[in-house]
Each structure stands twice: as C-alpha cells, then as structure tokens.
C-alpha cells in the first residue's frame, strides 16, 4: 500500500486513533509528516518504546536506501546489520533468489 501524499493532519490523527489493519501505513505517514512521537503514542495507545523502534528502523532504511553495498561505509553496514531487515533492501539486483520465511511454517497440533 502506497502512503498517501498530502494527507491532512486531521485525517492522519483520525486514522491513527482507529485500530485497523492498515494503521501501520498511517503511522509511517504520520512520522513522515513530522507528527511528534508523543502524539502518535497518545493517539494509537502504542507503547513509546515501539514507536521509537519504528522511528529508528525507518531512519536506518532511509540511510540504507541512499547507498549501495559497495558505496556504504563500514559503520553504516554494521548499523544496518544490527537492525536486521534493512539489509534485505541491499541485495544485489542479480540476487533474486527468494529467502525462506521462518514465520510461514505452521505447527500442526
């Protein structure tokens, strides 16, 4: 789902306050619009720790998107490795092999 561009703050606040499957997209849009983390926490009732983690991941993704594996500094590569998922966006274009998802394996009872 693409994030809405030019969304009024009143609509963002309304979408954040309502638990829905697409709320994460509205949360990211609110962060892009500069809505303060404290206000996001108040509207969503999401613990501030989680909001901070999402902010750190999105900041890391922005930094990672600006470079390639070949042009990234060692410090940035180390930071990306600590954040985990950001490294997936750094795959070389020739590497199209799907990675197995451990989350999709369901236990049978």
Mean pLDDT by 10 residues, the chain (109 residues): 65 93 93 93 96 90 85 86 60 44 40
Domain with 61 in it: 47-89
Shared-domain flag, residues 60 and 36 = no
Is 30 within a domain? yes
Shared-domain flag, residues 41 and 62 = no
Shared-domain flag, residues 51 and 85 = yes
Which DSSP string do the residues of the chain spell out, in sequence order?
A: -PPPSS--HHHHHHHHHS--TTHHHHHHHHHHTT--HHHHHHHH---HHHHHHHHHHHHHHHHHHTS-TTTS-HHHHHHHHHH-GGGGGG--TT--PPPPPGGG-----
Is 29 within a domain? yes
Residue 6's pLDDT is what? 63
Residue 93's pLDDT is what? 44
Is 69 within a domain? yes
Structural domain tally of the chain?
2
Residue 62's pLDDT is what? 85
Residue 85's pLDDT is what? 55
Shared-domain flag, residues 23 and 55 = no
Is 94 within a domain? no
Is 109 within a domain? no
Shared-domain flag, residues 66 and 53 = yes
Is 72 within a domain? yes
Residue 107's pLDDT is what? 42
């Amino acid at each position: 789902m693409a994030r809405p561009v030019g969304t009024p703050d009143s609509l963002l606040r309304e979408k954040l306050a309502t638990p829905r499957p697409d709320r994460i997209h509205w949360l990211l849009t609110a962060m892009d619009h500069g809505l303060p983390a404290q206000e996001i926490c108040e509207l969503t009732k999401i613990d501030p720790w989680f909001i901070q983690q999402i902010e750190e991941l999105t900041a890391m993704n922005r930094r990672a998107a600006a470079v390639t594996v070949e042009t990234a500094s060692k410090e940035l590569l180390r930071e990306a490795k600590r954040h985990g998922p950001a490294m997936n966006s750094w795959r070389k274009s020739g590497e199209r092999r799907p990675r197995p998802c451990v989350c999709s394996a369901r236990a049978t009872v």
